[in-house]
């Protein structure tokens, strides 16, 4: 299925996020929404856990505070972001710590996909929890979600999920044309261009548009690196954010690029699943 919109104007909100400060983090998100609206955005992405920030090594007192601060969906944070999407007439993908009965005494690390109507049209819960403290705070999701929209078919992936090619390929085989990655990835100056390489490879493997937005700032002594990126088929980087500072990153995704590159490199038709042994 080709993109339904010829030119998708994309904005990545590479913002700092403060621990347990949902009102302050919401202000940052809404400020980027205002700027994106002035620039005619169609799709705006915000990082993982944009409402409450990341978690420290396991601390039962902090875990209780974090779970208490997490919101059900819909809730005040997502309601406000959805209202901004409706007011400005664009799609939004934003990461939240989600309180949900299926998570037990933990919470879900969730990506919300919102339509210009303000409706939540996709809920992707993080599938792969990183080694360390994440596994003490969060419950695992169990579904790969693709979302048909007026822009085309979107799929959201959350940080560590991006490291697994199976997830991106499964979404692409279900029709995903724009992969929206949201992340909290540590600042690693000795390892430059890792997000660029990741986005490029995913765009090449699946002949799809790939955007990864990463946060900046620090939580619990852990700094985050920014360097948000957009890549298009066949793996060409078209936009990059700076390292370790807030920024608004812009790109335009073209339907023609997707159509031509998928015709030139028919990676789905040429697959041979019968020999992969999966």
The pLDDT, as a whole number, for residue 132 is 87
Look up 98 and say whether it is catalytic.
Answer: no
Look up residue 153 and give its two tokens: 């078919």
pLDDT (tens digit per residue) in 161-206: 999 999 999 999 999 999 999 999 999 999 989 999 999 999 999 9
The pLDDT, as a whole number, for residue 278 is 78
Question: For the chain, what percent of residues have pLDDT higher than 70?
Answer: 99
pLDDT-based confidence at residue 45 (cuts at 50, 70, 90): very high
The single residue of 71, 98, 159, 180 carrying the catalytic annotation is 159
Q: Is the pLDDT of residue 208 over 70?
A: yes
Cα–Cα nearest to 82, from 29, 5, 36, 154: 29
Mean per-residue pLDDT, 228-254: 98
The single residue of 48, 134, 177, 227 carrying the catalytic annotation is 48
Which residue ranges form the domains of the chain, and what is each CATH number? 7-264 (3.60.110.10)
Cis preceding linkage at 13, omega within 30: no
The pLDDT, as a whole number, for residue 2 is 52
The pLDDT, as a whole number, for residue 90 is 98
pTM exceeds 0.95 for this model: yes
Distance of alpha carbon 14 from alpha carbon 16, whole angstroms = 7
The pLDDT, as a whole number, for residue 23 is 98
Mean per-residue pLDDT, 26-42: 98
Look up 126 and say whether it is catalytic.
Answer: yes
Q: 223: exposed, middle or buried (C-beta count within 10 Å: 0-12, 13-18, 19+)?
A: middle
Q: Is the pLDDT of residue 20 over 80?
A: yes
Mean per-residue pLDDT, 14-20: 98
Q: How many residues does the chain have?
A: 278
Look up 180 and say whether it is catalytic.
Answer: no
Which residues sit opposite 227 in a β-bridge? none
pLDDT (tens digit per residue) in 114-155: 999 999 999 999 999 999 899 999 999 999 999 999 999 999
The pLDDT, as a whole number, for residue 1 is 47
Residues 6+ apart with CB under 8 A from 207: 172, 233, 234, 258, 261, 262, 265, 267
The single residue of 33, 98, 126, 261 carrying the catalytic annotation is 126
Mean per-residue pLDDT, 47-59: 97
């Amino acid at each position: 299925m080709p993109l339904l919109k010829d030119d998708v104007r994309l904005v990545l909100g590479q913002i700092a996020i403060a621990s347990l400060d949902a009102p302050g983090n919401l202000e940052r998100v809404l400020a980027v929404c205002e700027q994106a609206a002035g620039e005619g955005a169609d799709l705006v992405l915000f990082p993982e856990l944009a409402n409450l920030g990341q978690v420290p090594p396991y601390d039962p007192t902090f875990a209780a505070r974090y779970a208490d601060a997490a919101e059900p969906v819909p809730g005040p944070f997502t309601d406000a972001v959805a209202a901004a999407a409706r007011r400005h007439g664009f799609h939004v993908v934003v990461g939240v710590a989600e309180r949900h009965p299926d998570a037990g005494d933990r919470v879900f690390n969730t990506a919300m996909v919102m339509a210009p109507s303000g409706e939540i049209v996709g809920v992707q819960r993080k599938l792969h929890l990183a080694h360390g403290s994440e596994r003490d705070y969060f419950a695992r999701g169990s579904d790969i979600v693709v979302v048909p929209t007026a822009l085309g078919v979107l799929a959201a992936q959350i940080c560590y999920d991006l490291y697994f090619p199976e997830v991106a390929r499964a979404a692409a085989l279900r029709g995903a044309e724009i992969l929206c990655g949201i992340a909290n990835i540590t600042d690693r100056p000795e390892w430059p261009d890792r997000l660029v390489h990741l986005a490029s490879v995913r765009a090449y493997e699946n002949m799809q548009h790939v955007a990864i937005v990463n946060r900046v700032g620090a939580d619990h002594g852990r700094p985050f690196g920014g360097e948000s990126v957009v890549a298009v088929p066949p793996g060409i980087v078209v936009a990059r954010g700076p390292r370790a500072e807030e920024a608004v990153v812009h790109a335009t995704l073209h339907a023609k690029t997707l159509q031509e590159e998928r015709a030139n490199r028919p990676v789905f038709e040429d697959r041979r699943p019968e020999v992969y042994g999966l």
